[in-house]
Amino acid sequence: MKNPFDLKGQVALITGSSRGIGRSIAEIMAGLGAKVVVSSRKADACEAVAAAIRKDGGDAHVIPCNIGRREEVEGLVKGTIDKYGRIDALVCNAAVNPYYGPLAGISDDQFDKIMATNIKSNLWLANLVIPGMADRGGGTVTIISSIGGIRGSNILGAYGISKAADFALARALAVEWGPKNIRVNCIAPGLVKTDFAKALWEDEANLKKRLVTTPLRRIGEPDDIGGIAAFLAAPAGAFITGQVIVADGGVTIGS
C-alpha cells in the first residue's frame, strides 16, 4: 500500500515559515518528501530554516516576502514557480496582530493592517496559485487560522474577526475550485507556544487559567499543528475540503 502521508513530488509554499508553526510545517513537509519554499520578511531567518532542512536531507529554497505587499506576493509565487516549476501545496500561515484591547480602541490603520494581512493576502495568494494547480489536475490550500475565529475576546477582537473571515474564505474557495480537484481547508490552533503568542503564554496567571480549562492540560507546540498541515496536503486528506480543523487541546469543548 502506498504511504498515504507521502509528499514526494510535491512543491509546498509556506508563508511565515521562519519560526513557530510555519517552521514546523516546512520541516515536517520536507521530511515527508516535499520540496519547500521557506518565506517570511527576513531572509536570514529563512535561510537558517532552509539550512536545517537541507542538513536533514530535504530540499528547501528561500524567498523573502512581506505578504502585506501585493508586488512581493506576486514575486513570491513567481519565484517559487521559476525555481520548482509548480506549486502543489500552498500554506497561508503568516499573520499579524498589532493591537491588543477592546474594539472601541482600535485605530483604522491597525484594523486595516490586520484585515489586509490576515485575509486579503490569503486571497491574493490563492488567486495567484490555484489556477496553475487546476491546470495540472489539483492541489491544496491550507490557511492557518485560529480558535479566535470561533470564540469572542475582549482583547483580540479584530484578530478574531480576521480569523473567522478565513473560515469563510476557505469555504468559498473550496466550493469554487472543488470541481478542479482543489482542496481548501483551515486549521484553527488554540494557544501554541510560539513567539507570536508569547504575550499570552508568558503571563503565568493567564496560562494557569488556560491549563485548568483545557482537557489536555497543556498548550500546544508548533509540531502539533505542523503535522495537520502535512496531512491535509497528503493523499490521506484527499476527501477533506472546506473544513476547519480545530487543534486546541480541547479548550473549546472544555468547561
The CATH number assigned to the domain holding 44 equals 3.40.50.720
Alpha-helix runs per DSSP H in the chain: 20-31, 43-55, 70-84, 108-115, 121-136, 157-177, 198-201, 204-212, 222-233
**Residue 255 is assigned to a structural domain of this protein:** no
**Residue 235 is assigned to a structural domain of this protein:** yes
Question: pLDDT over 70 for what percent of the chain?
Answer: 97
**Residue 185 is assigned to a structural domain of this protein:** yes
What CA–CA distance (Å, rounded) separates 30 from 23?
11
**Residue 28 is assigned to a structural domain of this protein:** yes
Confidence band of 141 (pLDDT split at 50, 70, 90)? very high
Average pLDDT for residues 225-249, to the nearest whole number?
A: 98
How high is the pLDDT of residue 194?
77
pTM of the model: 0.95
What CA–CA distance (Å, rounded) separates 140 from 67?
19
**Residue 1 is assigned to a structural domain of this protein:** no
Confidence band of 209 (pLDDT split at 50, 70, 90)? confident
**Residue 254 is assigned to a structural domain of this protein:** no
Which comes out higher in pLDDT, residue 193 or 164? 164
**Residue 251 is assigned to a structural domain of this protein:** no
**Residue 145 is assigned to a structural domain of this protein:** yes
C-alpha cell at 29: 513537509
Domain of 129 in residue numbering reads as: 11-246
Catalytic residues: 159
**Whether the predicted pLDDT of 208 surpasses 90:** no
How high is the pLDDT of residue 201?
61
**Whether the predicted pLDDT of 196 surpasses 70:** no
Domain count, the chain: 1
How high is the pLDDT of residue 199?
66
